[in-house]
Amino acid sequence: MTDRNRIKQAFGDYTDRYDPSDIKIRLKIDHTYRVAENAERIAESIGLDERGIFLAFAMGMLHDFGRFEQVKRYGTFIDRKSIDHAELGADLLFRDGFIRDFFDEEDLDQDTADLIEKVIRLHNKLALPEGLTDKEIQFCNLIRDADKIDIFRVLAEVEYEDGRAGETKSTADGARDSIMQCVREHRCVPRIGDRSEFEVWVSRYCMAFELVFPISRRLAKEQGYLAQILGRWPQSPAQQEQMDLIRKELEYYLRDKR
């Protein structure tokens, strides 16, 4: 069986093609390893066998494969201004053949290849499509959870400019009703333009409502990064009222449900 060391080596060889002095490249290298670690922990917690835990690790290592080429080509992580990084990563791996660097040929049967490709393509989508198998749903949710958990760390710890000012044209004081309705309904905010900076952050907080597995919700609380970014607001009475609701709903959703 292909082992973790081979996957790490292949990942390192691939990312050596890119500029390590670029903070976005360094960010995604670090993020990748943390997502793979999160994925293994989630897989273990839900009782997957050794093969399933290994696949969770591998998917975590490969989920953002397209980010590096995205940065090289476009200089940004903003998909709507460049390219869908999940689709790009899946194309590079399975159309252009980079997946062969990570897996022994005899260890990558067609069903496994199809599963990995589907998980990568869907990891950044707002919602999963209908028609997936139970196994596909399980691994999609696993990687999406592992990714979101570390995104909270990135938001808390990493400062860099990526053109986000262009996404925050609205000067509204509090978040609009449609965004706050997502908070009340415990769901992610659809990707819309013309959002205030506060609305952008509310959308980020709402990612926690999409965490599927109990250990994911527990990690989001225990690591403290979500609480850290929640502390960035409010800056007005209207935002204070909305943040009180956001904190209340997140506390309810993230409580231990084992």
Spatial distance between the Cα atoms of 158 and 104, rounded to a whole number of angstroms: 36
Nearest-10 crossing angle of helices 65-74, 23-45: 160
Q: Is 85 helix (H, G, I), strand (E, B) or coil?
A: helix
Burial of residue 233 (number of CB atoms within 10 Å: 0-12, 13-18, 19+): middle
Biggest CA-to-CA distance, the chain: 61
Where is 27: in which H helix or E strand?
A: helix 23-45
Within its chain, how far is the Cα of 11 from the centroid?
Answer: 18
The arithmetic mean of pLDDT across residues 134-151, rounded, is 98
Residue burial 189-207, b: 16+ Cβ < 10 Å; e: rest:
beeeeebbbbbbbbbbbbb
Q: Is 74 helix (H, G, I), strand (E, B) or coil?
A: helix
pTM, rounded to two decimals? 0.93
162: tokens are 């990526």
Q: Is 25 helix (H, G, I), strand (E, B) or coil?
A: helix
pLDDT at 79 over 50: yes
What phi and psi values does residue 16 have, to the nearest 5 degrees?
Answer: -65, -15
- Cα–Cα distances (Å) from 27 to 34, 36, 80, in that order, read 11, 14, 20
Spatial distance between the Cα atoms of 126 and 201, rounded to a whole number of angstroms: 16
The arithmetic mean of pLDDT across residues 216-228, rounded, is 96
Let me know if domain 1-162 sits in CATH 3.40.50.2300: no
Q: What is the domain partition of the chain in residue ranges?
A: 1-162, 167-258
Residues 101-127 pLDDT 10s: 999 888 899 999 999 999 999 999 999
Residues 204-219 pLDDT 10s: 999 999 999 999 999 9
Spatial distance between the Cα atoms of 30 and 195, rounded to a whole number of angstroms: 29
Q: By the 8 A CB rule, do 174 and 239 touch?
A: yes
pLDDT at 166 over 60: no
Q: Lowest-confidence range among 106-110, 165-169, 182-186?
A: 165-169
Nearest-10 crossing angle of helices 134-157, 110-122: 40
Q: Which pLDDT score is estimated for 195?
A: 87
Peptide bond between residue 234 and the one before it cis (omega within 30 degrees of 0): yes
Q: Lowest-confidence range among 49-58, 118-127, 226-235?
A: 226-235
The count of other CB atoms within 10 Å of the CB of residue 65 is 26
CB neighbours of 162 closer than 8 A, spacing ≥ 6?
24, 76, 77, 78
Q: Which of 60, 62, 72 is nearest to 24 (CA)?
A: 72
**Average pLDDT score, the chain:** 93
Q: By the 8 A CB rule, do 153 and 223 touch?
A: yes
Instruction: Kindly indicate the confidence band of residue 165, based on its pLDDT and cuts at 50, 70 and 90.
Output: very low
Spatial distance between the Cα atoms of 103 and 96, rounded to a whole number of angstroms: 15
Q: Lowest-confidence range among 50-54, 103-107, 170-174, 238-242?
A: 170-174
